[in-house]
Structures are given as C-alpha cells and as structure tokens.
Amino acid sequence: MKAAPFEYVKPATVDEALQALEDHLGMARVLAGGQSLLPMLGMRLMRPSALVDINGLAGELGRIEARGSETVVGALVRYATIESSPVVSERLPLLQHIVQYIGDRQVRNRGTIGGALAQADPTGEMALACLVLDATIVARTTQGERDIPAADFFAGSYASVLEPEELLVAVRFPLAPDHCRFFERGRKHNDFAVLSVAVAASRGAEGRWEGVRIGLGGVNDRPLLAEAAAAALEGRTWDDATIDAAAALAMEVVDAPDDVRAGAAYREHLVPIHVRRLLRELAQGEQR
Amino acid sequence: MNEHIDITVTVNGEVHEQRVEARTHAADFLRHQLGLTGTHVGCEQGVCGMCTILVDGQAIKSCLMLAAQLDGAEVETVESLAVDDRLDPLQQAFKDEHALQCGFCTPGFLMTATALAREGRRLGRDEIRQELAGVLCRCTGYDHIVDAVEHHLDATAEARADG
Ligand SMILES: Cc1cc2nc3c(=O)[nH]c(=O)nc-3n(C[C@H](O)[C@H](O)[C@H](O)COP(=O)(O)OP(=O)(O)OC[C@H]3O[C@@H](n4cnc5c(N)ncnc54)[C@H](O)[C@@H]3O)c2cc1C
Ligand code: FES
Ligand code: FES
C-alpha cells in the first residue's frame, strides 16, 4: 500500500496549477481532498508523474457564493463546509441533505465537491445531486474556460469528460426546484450506495409538476438522469397510474452492474420501488 | 524532480523541520520519521480510521494525507493527550467504561472524539455513533465506546456551562 514515486507540486495560484498540469503533458493528477486519489495511488491503480496539490488555493476555489438566483460552489469546497453552510441550507437543501450519506466525519472533513465529480463514481452522491439540480460544471485550462452541463459530464465508470490538463474550478447551481427527495440503499450507512435515487420538481399552475428530474446512482456505469420517466411526469398532475408508468420508464436507463456490493437483479428490483416511493412522497407535498 | 520536500510542522506543540519523500503519507511520517507510534496503521486506504489524527484541529485519516501536506500545519496525535502518567479525561472515560479490549483502535477513537468534544455539544447516542463511524473496532461491539464518549461529552458540556 505504498504509492510509487511522484513529484509534488504546490501551486500558489490557479494559473500556476494550470501551468503545472500543462507542463506534465497529461501525466499529472490534481490532489484535492485525497480521499479517493491516495487510496488509488497506494493500490498502484495509477502512477502519475506528479501531483498538483490544490489545497493552497482555497481563496480562489474554496468559496460558496450566492450570485442572483445562482449559487456557485468552488471546486475545493469540502463536504464538511457544505454540511454547515447557511447559504447551501437556504438555497440548495438537497445538496446539504445528501452530504451526510457520504463517507464518515474524517472523509467529510477532507473530501471536496470537485474531487467527487472528477472521480465520477457511479454511486457518487454529489454527482447525483448535481444531475437533478441541473448544475453546470466549470473547467479551466491555460487556454480558457468551458461550461459542462452535469448531464454531459460523466463519460463512463469512474470517467468524466475532463481532459487531463483541465482543472475543475467550480459548480454552478441554478435556482433549485421547490421539492426534492433523496433515497439511498447501502450495505451500511456511510458506505458507497447500492442504489441511490433523487427526484426534484416544482409545482406550477393547478398543481401541475414542472422541471421534473429523476437521477439514479449505482444502476449503470455512471450516475444518470431517467429522462423518459421525467418526461412522462412533466406538466401533469400525478396520480398512482402516472407514477407507476414513470417508475416503469425509469428502467429504460438501467443496466445494473454485478459487484461486491450487490447483484444486478437486486439493483433492478429496487429501482421502480424507490422511484415510485419518492414520487409519491413528493406528490404528498412534504418538502425537503 | 521534487520527490523530496522540506517541511516545518508542529506536532503536539513541538516544531519539527524534516525532509520527506513526496509519496510518504502522514501516518508513516509520524511513525517512522518522528517515532510517534501511537498513531496506528490498519488498512492504508481510508477505511479503518486507526490512523486518525488532528490537523489544525480537524479529525482526518493520516494515511490519506501526504507528509508534504503537513507543511505549516499544527498536528495532534494520541501522544498529546496524557500528561506524564496522568490520563486525559477522555482517556479516563475509556478506562472507566471499559471502552477498549486489544486497544488497537483506541487512538483513532480518542482523536475523533477529542475533535468532537471541542465542539462542546452534548450528543445523543445515535449522533455519537454517526460521528465515530469512521473508526472500526473489531473487539468491543462499540457500546462501551459510545458510553465513554457520551459521558465525556456530557462532562465537557457541563464543565463549560459552569464556566
Ligand atoms: C472511507 C471512505 C468512504 C467513502 N464513502 C463515500 C460515499 O459514500 N460516497 C461517495 O460519493 N464517496 C465516498 N468516498 C470518496 C470521497 O467522496 C472522495 O472524497 C471523493 O470521491 C473525491 O474527492 P477528493 O476531494 O477527496 O478528491 P481526490 O481524492 O483528491 O481526487 C479524486 C480524483 O479527482 C481528481 N480531481 C480532484 N479535484 C479535481 C479538480 N478540481 N479538477 C480536476 N480533477 C480533480 C483527482 O486528480 C483524482 O483523480 C469515500 C472515501 C472513503 C475513504
Ligand atoms: S490506516 Fe488510515 S484509515 Fe485505515
Ligand atoms: S479494542 Fe480491539 S479493535 Fe477496538
């Protein structure tokens, strides 16, 4: 469990970090909270030539800002900060609620939102929150910046569309829907999820639901949105039949893995049950 | 190549200037370079919590931090708790409540609970279990550990209220 040798680079500014990533020609890795990277290095699942430690960049990357209807969360914002932030609690209650399902106290003291997204764990809670909250991920290189919608960010198992010399700098959240729900089934609390489901929607005129989004974790090689299911619910009032139909449609995006945590059949069994449950809870109107 | 880094770190109040290998994690640095073997190493992949220490007051797993990242930091390990032969109140609570058997996990629990106690809050048993969930114990079944931490948090909160 000892990492192979690498060079340690500690930039003092984001520009220096971008330069270091470019200089290493895609062979360097960003070190944020280290809660996924250091275990991977210890197991020698990767051998980067250098680690670019961004922990000194909290001034540029560690802030949570309310900008009009938008909330901007810097890449280096730690789980523990999200847990206790009044801005997040007021504007993004789902994000705050979801954080308590991640890891344990020590992991939450170090792990960052940027690291969680770049890690692209198919069961990642942060990824799921960003999908259903319709977040935009901001990535930067020495050449400039680009915006990536969360729905286009995850490229496969533990893979994102980030280029190796690209730094995730922030996550932008639009105004959150009024109603959000989250459920997770794990082998134990604090462990990676077997299945996670998040739903979000707002109530429009005459009780019709708008902006419906349903996110699923742990049921494919990446966290994703069940778009057909959401479309079946959009602009309508919901009764049991609409909800049942949507829960069945959610299965369209499921291609569940068999792994140490659970079999594919069990995961598939859980999906419609919990999608249905969350939608019913939402329809019954309790807010979270 | 910067495979070695010079760091200045304060460990349990003592300032150390050391040269560390970039790939060395903080737990190995404390144990092998400073000889502070109270910090235990179990899994080296962030799962067991044996290696928990405080960095700038926060409980973290020292196998998931590089020694190089300790530059400029204030570190506290389990060695900071007892003064000479006198146990600190949390350690005494562990003793009184029989919160250890083999003791391998104890430094991890003590440091996690030390950070928790500094918040000065009383917590319910479920909340205490949540806060301690990052440290595993294979002997005790946890009940006595929760007892010890519960009593210690209550005593700390009471002492604060008394001013
Ligand atoms: C015991 C334990 C339990 C855990 N439980 C959970 C859980 O229940 N749910 C969950 O989702 N996760 C869990 N995790 C993983 C944890 O959430 C990690 O913190 C997170 O996945 C990575 O964030 P980090 O800041 O630690 O990133 P790091 O480990 O530093 O980096 C992870 C990856 O992202 C890259 N990266 C980091 N920041 C950036 C950036 N700004 N730009 C570009 N690339 C970047 C790194 O190069 C690396 O490839 C657990 C970890 C442990 C040790
Ligand atoms: S040795 Fe660090 S968590 Fe197990
Ligand atoms: S007392 Fe033996 S592992 Fe906890």
A248 in a structural domain: yes
A220 and A268 housed in the same domain: yes
A272 in a structural domain: yes
Please tell me the distance in Å from B142's CA to the nearest CA on chain A. 15
- Residue A153 has, within 13 A of its CA and on its CB side, a CA count of 29
A73 and A168 housed in the same domain: yes
A85 and A17 housed in the same domain: no
Strands A50-53 and A7-9: parallel
- State the ligand closest to the CA atom of A103: 1
Domain interval for residue A19: 7-53
Distance CA A225, CA A229 (A): 9
Hey, which residues does B83 pair with through a beta bridge? Answer: B86
Contacts of residue A55, defined as CB under 8 A and 6 or more positions apart, other chains included, come to A10, A31, A32, A76, B69
pLDDT tens-digit map of A74-125:
999 999 999 999 999 999 999 999 999 999 999 999 999 999 999 999 999 9
A166 and A234 housed in the same domain: no
Domains and CATH numbers, chain B: 4-80 (3.10.20.30), 89-162 (1.10.150.120)
Would you write out chain A's pLDDT as a tens digit for each of its 288 residues? 799 999 999 999 999 999 999 999 999 999 999 999 999 999 999 999 999 999 999 999 999 999 999 999 999 999 999 999 999 999 999 999 999 999 999 999 999 999 999 999 999 999 999 999 999 999 999 999 999 999 999 999 999 999 999 999 999 999 999 999 999 999 877 788 999 999 999 999 888 999 999 999 999 999 999 999 999 999 999 999 999 999 999 999 999 999 888 999 999 999 999 999 999 999 987 444
Residue A81 Cβ contacting ligand 1 at under 6 Å: no
Distance CA A246, CA B94 (A): 53
Hey, which residues does A184 pair with through a beta bridge? Answer: A196
- Give the domain CATH number at A14: 3.30.43.10
ipTM: 0.97
A167 and A184 housed in the same domain: no
Distance B143 CA to ligand 1 centre (A): 31
**Would you call B62 an interface residue with chain A, using a CB distance cutoff of 8 Å?**
no
Number of domains comprising chain A: 3
Distance, CA of A109 to chain centre: 17
B75-104 residues touching A, CB cutoff 8 A = none
pTM over 0.90: yes
